[in-house]
Chain A
Amino acid sequence: MISAGIVPLFVAIPLAGAFLIALFKKIKGIPDIFGVFASGSMFILSILFLLKMEITQRIVYNIGNWGGFNEVLGKIVGIQLVIDGLTIFMLLIVNFVAFIVAVYSVNYMTRYTQKWQFYCLFLLMLAGMNGVLITGDLFNLFVFVEIASLASYALVAFGTEKRELEASFKYAVMGGVASLLILMGVVFLYSYTGTLNMANMAEIMSGSEQPALIYLVFGLFLTGFGLKAAMVPFHAWLPDAHPSAPAPISAMLSGVLIKTLGVYAIARVFFTIFGFPHQISIILMTLGAMSMGVGALVALRQWDMKRLLAYSSISQIGYIMLGLGIGTPLGILGALFHLFNHSIFKSLLFLDSGAVEYAAGTRDLKEMGGLSRKLPVTSGSTLAGAMSLAGIPPFAGFWSKLIIIIAAVEANHMKLAAWAVLMSIVTIAYILKVTRFAFLGALKDRFVNIKEVPVLMRISLVLLALICIFGGLLLIPEARAAFLEPAVRVLISGMGGGV
């Protein structure tokens, strides 16, 4: 049994870390130490929750002790923080990737000035993401989405060169509109149900006949969170914003931010509150199939390594959406497992692109060549990430894609299954382009004197690569029951009902 009193720490520790970093910025080494320790302690805390919690347990914390009104008024007043299986699953992924990225940044961010600002914004973004995951209140979710988004706009512009500023402006305007649409959806829901608590809302929504206006609310939430998740046709900002950010931030944005603000929020709103109506299932599958296709095909013709990876993120988000849209337990299991795998291998690949840039000073695939002789750790870990992305057995990415495709076949969506297989072949094509042009072939003269990246960067690359190789082990029954099943159960139990 674990006390509910430590739940707010998931937001409080990164916030305090950001504050202390700003306070002690003058002392050398403090930003690094606080950044690594804050994210590391979050990771340890989420492991603690994973080990101590019962499978169906739901930990609830009432902020400001406003919990007693439930008995008197019949509805929950005040903000609740809720931890259940899905939350734990996401918290583990987010905080693990954040920890790895923080360790990597200690060496990498010496390329930039003002390192303390980087760690400060990084921890703010982490606080926002953790807040989105643990909150049980819809307006509170909007507030945390905004905290994480604002920090990420600033981080995209961190280089303050022409490209970065332009990408950040585009991202900030589109993200701002997305937030407004989400807020409008929240207001509509509040005026209909009279509560902001998600569990209360779900009860009211499932109990009554729903007005036709509910479809407007569906549209608002789908557009708002779809923009944050960069699903096609809302993806225009991602290929600019993700490559422009510093490499560790690209890893955070592509690896976990679009999943927390986009996929997780969509799953929460449509599964838990609306009970996953049939129309949403069709829309998610269609958008997923479109994202898969557009992302993969455009990635084929990119020569900038990070831009290629950014388009690949759009395509992989499509797989996750497809799995969620199928809506069978197997489909959801595949979607969540692919979410886990994607956050690991995409962070790894972005960190690798950063390592190449750090050592060789370029991200253009045409200028590289033969780097595997000079950068053995980087090229080895890229290969592991690439194989996982391409879905080569026995790497982790293979199993999750396989589960999604099997789920599509079982649910009688043959065309979607065939499309997913086809797009995974395209995936192999574009990711082989990276390994072929960057690491194989003849070494160019200008790269003769480059050195392998510093040790902390190497450690984080190797750790992520190991998870890419052995991630498939999570599917053995014991590990699955502890890690994946509780998250799937939360989404399944929200289903039923609907419009």
Chain B
Amino acid sequence: MNAYMPYVLCMILFSIGIYAILSKRNIIKIILGVVIAEYAVNLFLVLVAYKVGGRSAIFSETQVILPESMVDPLPHALVLTSIVIGLATTAFLIALAIRLYGKYGTFDITRMRELRG
């Protein structure tokens, strides 16, 4: 088991998301692709902070905890922000999908061809 394995898996997950965005015809599947890619980046953000055997960044009165043994708490704060932003994007995309379905009567992106040139 390689120490880089989690990062590689994370990148594979990201590639799956990008693949779905690029190749799928159904709008909902494209949105799912965006969500998968987003989760891959969030996972990556948490992985960067991870330390083998690390513990949460809280000092205790009963035991001695060195700062070196703690995981980096900043990416955890960042990932929360990133998840909230992702929620907003996803909600907007889904609202658009509903309106598009109302106009075209289909989720198939290849049948939406008003724009050309």
Chain A residues in contact with chain B, CB under 8 A? 139, 143, 146, 150, 153-154, 157, 160-163, 165-170, 172-173, 176-177, 179-180, 183-184, 187, 190-191, 196, 239-240, 244, 302, 304, 307
Contacts and interface: CB of A to CB of B under 8 A. Distances in A.
Contacts of B18: 177
Given A162-B112, A180-B41, 11 more contacts: A146-B89, A150-B92, A165-B100, A166-B112, A169-B93, A169-B96, A169-B100, A172-B93, A173-B30, A183-B82, A187-B44
Contacts of B92: 150, 153-154, 172
Given A150-B92, A184-B44, A176 B115 contact: no
B68 interface: no
A165 B34 contact: no
A311 to B, nearest CB: 9
Nearest to B11: A184
Contact of A177 (B27, B34, B81): B34
Interface residues of B, number: 32
Contacts of A154: 92
A124 to B, nearest CB: 11
Given A150-B92, A172-B89, A302-B117, A177 B82 contact: no
30 contacts: A139-B78, A143-B85, A146-B85, A150-B89, A150-B92, A153-B92, A157-B99, A161-B103, A162-B103, A162-B104, A163-B114, A165-B100, A166-B115, A168-B96, A169-B27, A172-B96, A173-B21, A176-B89, A176-B93, A177-B37, A179-B85, A179-B89, A180-B38, A184-B14, A184-B41, A187-B41, A190-B74, A190-B75, A196-B74, A239-B117
Contacts of B104: 162
B interface, by DSSP: helix, strand, loop or mixed?
Answer: helix
Contacts of B27: 169
Given A166-B115, A176-B89, A191 B99 contact: no
Contacts of A146: 85, 88-89
Interface of B: 14, 18, 21, 27, 30, 34, 37-38, 41, 44-45, 48, 74-75, 78, 81-82, 85, 88-89, 92-93, 96-97, 99-100, 103-104, 112, 114-115, 117
A408 B84 CA distance: 45
Given A173-B30, A180-B41, A183-B82, A165 B89 contact: no
A163 B14 CA distance: 30
Nearest to A77: B74
A166 B48 contact: no
- Which 4 pairs from chain A and chain B are nearest by CB? A191-B48, A163-B114, A240-B115, A146-B85
A229 B88 CA distance: 22
